Amino acid sequence: MADRTIALASDHAGYDLKLELACLVADLGFEPLDLGTHDRESVDYPDFGAELGRAVADGRAALGVLVCGTGIGISIAANRNPAVRAALCHDTTTARLARQHNDANVLSIGARTTGPETAKDILRAFLETPFEGGRHARRVDKLATC
Ligand code: RB5
């Protein structure tokens, strides 16, 4: 990956896990870009999903990582940006296939549904797996027009 910047964003429910994942991003040799939230005070997940979507769309980051309570709301928000392909993952197989087949550019994780060690394994799989291209590229291209 040419650009090693990985954007991260969460709401209050995902704040602690986001910090742990940001450390792992750095440990793996990437550059974390933390788009908030910056404490545990209650906030609205759409604001953070949308901002992370903009960061990926405008090239501030190559990939993004989202965390909210379930990972659902914040991924819905990010996916409203046409440049975003956010995948909510609960296991490493899904994370790997989201990269290989869907060229997912945003990973979403639920802090209330996924333990921190599993979340780190998921993030590792996501960051280390390339898009396979080939027949999958045709399908991913179609996503832009549906
Ligand atoms: C916040 O309580 C919670 O609703 C949010 O983190 C998320 O789970 C929404 O999808």
Q: Is the CB of 103 under 6 A from ligand 1?
A: no
What gap in Å lies between CA 50 and CA 58, rounded to an integer?
Answer: 12
What are the φ/ψ torsions at residue 5 (nearest 5 degrees)?
Answer: -80, 130
Measured in whole angstroms, the distance separating CA 27 from the mean position of its chain's CA atoms is 17
**How many Å is the Cα radius of gyration of the chain?**
14
Tell me the DSSP string of 25-51: HHHTT-EEEE-S--SSS---HHHHHHH
Q: Which protein residue's CA is at the shortest distance from atom 7 of ligand 1?
A: 69
> What separation in Å is there between the alpha carbon of 69 and the centre of ligand 1?
4
Residue-level pLDDT, tens digit, the chain, 146 residues: 548 999 999 999 999 999 999 999 999 999 999 999 999 999 999 999 999 999 999 999 999 999 999 999 999 999 999 999 999 999 999 999 999 999 999 999 999 999 999 999 999 999 999 999 999 999 999 999 98
Domain ranges of the chain: 1-31+44-89
State residue 146's pLDDT score.
Answer: 83
CATH architecture of 1-31+44-89: 3-Layer(aba) Sandwich (3.40)
